[in-house]
Amino acid sequence: MTRPSPEVEALAAQRLAQDTAATDTATRRTTITLRQAWRAFWRHPSPPMIATALVAASTARVLAPGGDLWELTIPVALVALFPAIEWVIHVIVLHWRPRQVGPVRIDSLLAREHRAHHADPRDIPLVFIPWQALLWLIPAGAAAALLALPTTSSALTLLVSAAAIMFGYEWIHYLVHSDYRPRSRAYRAVWRNHRLHHYKNEHYWFTVTTSGTADRLFGTCPDAADVPTSPTVRKLHETDPGPATITG
């Protein structure tokens, strides 16, 4: 795992301080406890929506007849593959560059919301998956699982696993952007990784729930000291020079 240099840490801290100073005193956040973060987490639409899907899928799985031992490979495989899945979604879907095809502008809600998230990483509602997108993502995922897998029980196992992972993603992403400060070594690594993506250079460090996994696999986890601060880290795609060339 690449450890950010003290200079990079200082830059991230400076930018966070500037963000805080720019907000109104009445809305400025202070350091919070994990319990406070957990309570605030549930005030946003997506956690209850995903939790409802998880409970529904779990109930259906318990009530569904049959099931084989091979189904245990589904959650194991999904957990193992998730860093790569997360990376691909982040790069291709969330960092989508708007395109004009004739009179039609192709620019999804997820991409628009993510650009707003980069513009203001401290705006907590923008941290979450838009509830409007979940209205079709959840049923579409359920339909895809039922069509793709050979049995109802295996499809429900996949849905339970996917909903649990999605819920975990929402919680970790929220926690990283909240004012809860890292305590464990593993969480601190994730916290630093995502801070670098938002405050150093948007072309690197795409994983959110892990650090140094898929980013290493796909070559987006360089030594932070060798990466210049991007002028478009807060304004995605505006006069975007692209990833810097890492030398040395």
CA distance readout (Å), 227 to 120, 168, 186: 22, 30, 23
Tens-digit pLDDT profile for residues 4-14: 456 656 665 56
pLDDT score, position 169: 98
Residue 66: per-residue pLDDT? 82
Provide the angle, in degrees to the nearest 10, between the axes of the packed helices 46-63 and 131-148: 20
Count of C-beta atoms within a 10 Å radius of residue 138: 20
Task: Give the pLDDT confidence of 100-157 residue by residue, as tens digits.
Answer: 999 999 999 999 999 999 999 999 999 999 999 999 999 999 999 999 999 999 999 9
Q: Beta-strand (E) ranges in 13-163?
A: 99-101, 104-106
Amino acid at 41: F
Could you tell me which of 167, 197, 192, 174 has the C-alpha nearest to residue 127? 174
> Within 13 Å of residue 169, how many CA atoms lie on the same side as its CB?
21
Joined tokens for residue 97:
């560059």
Q: Output the pLDDT for position 148.
A: 94
Q: Which residues of the chain have pLDDT under 50?
A: 1-2, 4, 20-28, 245-248
Paired strand residues for 106: 99
pLDDT of residue 244: 56
Q: What is the pLDDT of residue 246?
A: 47
The residue written with tokens 């907000």 in the block is 23
The pTM assigned to this predicted structure is 0.85
Distance CA 155, CA 8 (A): 44
The rounded radius of gyration (Å) of the Cα atoms in the chain is 19
